[in-house]
Chains A and B, each alone.
Chain A
Amino acid sequence: MGVEQVNVLDGIKSAAREVLKENKAEVILGFTKGTLSNKCTPFFARTSQDINNLVWESGCNLNLAKYLLKTKKKAAIIVKGCDSRSIINLIKEKQIAREEIVIIGAYCPSTEGCPHCHYPDPVIADILISQKSEEIEKDSFNVNNENSLNKEFSTDQKIDYPDIEAFSAIPREQRKDYIYQEVSKCIRCYACRNVCPACYCKECFVEENLPGWLGKTTGIADNMIFHLTRAIHLAGRCVDCGACTRACPAGVNLSILNRKLAKDVKVYFSLETGMDLKEELALNEFRQDDPQPFLIGGGKDG
């Protein structure tokens, strides 16, 4: 990677040293080289020595926000766009406290793997090392509501879901066959759930057994119900980081389920998740005039 990225890494390292030195955090969550080339592994740096091992390159493509949930210590975290959006959601869901964490942000080093990503820049950061776009808000506390409403409409051209449009356009039977085929590969190891920063339930529905909501087989039916339900649990919460797809040992790619729901949340409720600390999550609120296109007769109540 070019000179620019080396400079970014230097910037990250010196910010991390500074944070440790000033005792603002006991541990820095970042990435280090993995055992496979081009796959970096999450890394907890506790000393200035450790910080030498940090990397910032295209293999840094898991979502580190997950590890904040397991860190009892005061932590600093190195984020790209998607990690920062997950952090916003975790703060809103009261899983982490804003004042307990230090966010070191940099432009995503791994954009080529995510063709549909619109937010490679950190959305929230205490220390910002690099960014692509000009108008980044250093802290989304500052975003005023009027602006974000206008942004909602103006970003409509920018935020598109070409893959979702394309999938919706193919014949119904083929869509179903595709999903069945994808789902039938699943071995129900739950790696996708385990890496997902939004999947932190103490007892996930898949493990509940009184009542046993979900069958334990890897037949299409049980697999379907698992994936559909997880997709719904992530509606309005998934930041499309792709960690689940990358973690899957069976090559299951169902990101279109999450992306479809993200699109619907935007169209129906004008919300985009993880962009703002103030906005409620889509399924945590309602409006009297929410659309009800699903009703028999298309919503006779208006």
Chain B
Amino acid sequence: MDDRKIIAFLCNWCSYAGADLAGISRFQYPPNLRIIRVPCSGRVDPLMIFEALKNADGVLVAGCHPGDCHYTSGNYVARRKFALVKSLLKFIGLEEERVQFDWISAAEGKDFAVTATKVANDVNKLEKWDRWGWSR
């Protein structure tokens, strides 16, 4: 079960730095995450999430807390998109745990490890993902 792949889109300024801090601080988390650094959570086009699910079993998207965006409003813009994406995926029959979102700051190394662990455990517990019918 531990071979499940999770794509993590992390914003450069907060969540990626949070992941870095988790590493430097030697907080353990499962190895399922494949991290992709993006300039801002606002850069995470829903298309990237849908495409990721063609080749991975889960997706995590994380960015700066609302109010702390390096570009002032990127994560606010992202927030509206994510609310719709999450709801749409649930509607068409995906498990809620398959795609998850969180806000993680550069100082929250511990929180990053906690979130990464939670997402990996959640996805590992789910039924095998068919990768949009790819592996049916």
A residues at B contact (CB < 8 Å): 164, 167-168, 172-177, 179-180, 184, 205, 213-215, 219-221, 224-225, 228-229, 231-232, 235, 256-257, 260-261, 264-265, 268-269, 282-283, 286-288, 290-296, 301
Contacts and interface: CB of A to CB of B under 8 A. Distances in A.
A228 B50 contact: yes
Contacts of A221: 54, 131-134
Contacts of A283: 77, 80-81
B83 A290 contact: yes
A269 B46 contact: no
6 closest A-B pairs by CB: A176-B93, A220-B133, A221-B132, A294-B86, A175-B93, A286-B76
Contacts of B132: 220-221, 224-225
Contacts of B47: 205, 213-214, 225, 229, 232
A180 B80 CA distance: 26
Nearest to B76: A286
Given A290-B80, A296-B101, A301-B65, A232 B134 contact: no
Contact of B84 (A179, A264, A288): A264
B103 interface: yes
B50 A288 contact: no
B118 interface: yes
B86 A231 contact: no
Contacts of B121: none
19 contacts: A220-B133, A225-B47, A228-B92, A232-B84, A256-B91, A257-B92, A260-B87, A260-B91, A261-B88, A269-B80, A283-B77, A292-B66, A292-B79, A293-B86, A294-B82, A294-B87, A294-B101, A295-B102, A301-B103
A268 B86 CA distance: 13
Contact of A176 (B84, B94, B119): B94
B87 to A, nearest CB: 5
Contacts of A228: 46, 50, 88, 92
A221 B95 CA distance: 17
A264 B46 contact: no
B124 interface: no
